[in-house]
Structure 1
């Protein structure tokens, strides 16, 4: 796939796990790939081999990420989450289970007034995901 970076792109800052997270996320969704990775070399401002800047896509949506070698007083918060519409119940179940592993469930997977199947989870890196099942068409 050929990608141009959109003018507004979700940008994720990790502390040494950017490449691991990208590989994990791209393994979860179809039409996903790592687009580019630039790593820190020796004697540069980041830890050698960590991600200086990378781009990846999930279901065709482009994201950017970095590894920061500076310790910050903040990390990811559920107030900002990635909202994913899954095509099948199998996809919702599989992705939710994988993201919840070593993470935390914020809203259990289930039926809600706004979705027949929905779950909210913070993954092991602290990134929050809202997963919903695409609305099924009218019954015939």
Structure 2
């Protein structure tokens, strides 16, 4: 039986910037277990390697991959965030979509009192909901 199942975000050179952005943007976001590359590894020593990000109690593994890949994030995987109130939906939607994209602008879509679906500047997709 598996011991745990965690979302895993693989960035390509901007993981540390993404974590700082999430920590500054999302209330209660915490970054811990930060690991940096050491001497003799495939990238310069001291460069960010991996960490754990915690959002509303959900732990997420984060890696900064040294090789560049032909793929990145897709909106078919997104974080669904249950917001405390409508102001939080609006605030997070505006902040996360800055230099990113808006797939569904803040609005009432019938299934939710207020909902937005955005992609941040790093390509990570966020569904923001106030039921």
TM-score (ref. length: structure 1): 0.86
Q: Deviations over 1:76-123 (max 9, x none)?
A: 000111110100111111110011100011111111110111011111
Partner of 1:69: 66
Out of 12, 15, 20, the residue aligned to residue 17 of structure 2 is 20
How many residue pairs get aligned? The number is 129
**Counterpart mapping for 1:32-111 below 5 A:** 32-111=29-108
Between 63-72 and 34-43, report the one with greater CA deviation: 34-43
| 1:132 counterpart residue number | 129
Alpha-carbon distance between aligned partners in 2 of 1:15 and 1:48, rounded to the nearest angstrom:
17
- Which consecutive unaligned segments of at least 5 residues does structure 1 have? 1-5, 136-140
1:43 is displaced (CA, Å) by: 2.8
Counterparts in 2 of 1:47 and 1:130: CA distance versus 1, 3 Å = farther
Contact 1:46 1:68 in 2 (8 A): no
Unaligned runs of 5+ in 2: none
Q: TM-score, normalised by structure 2?
A: 0.91
Taking the aligned partners of 1:67 and 1:56, their CA distance within structure 2 comes to: 13
Find the aligned partners of 2:69 and 2:55 in 1 and give their Cα distance: 27
Where 1:115 maps in the other structure, the secondary structure is coil
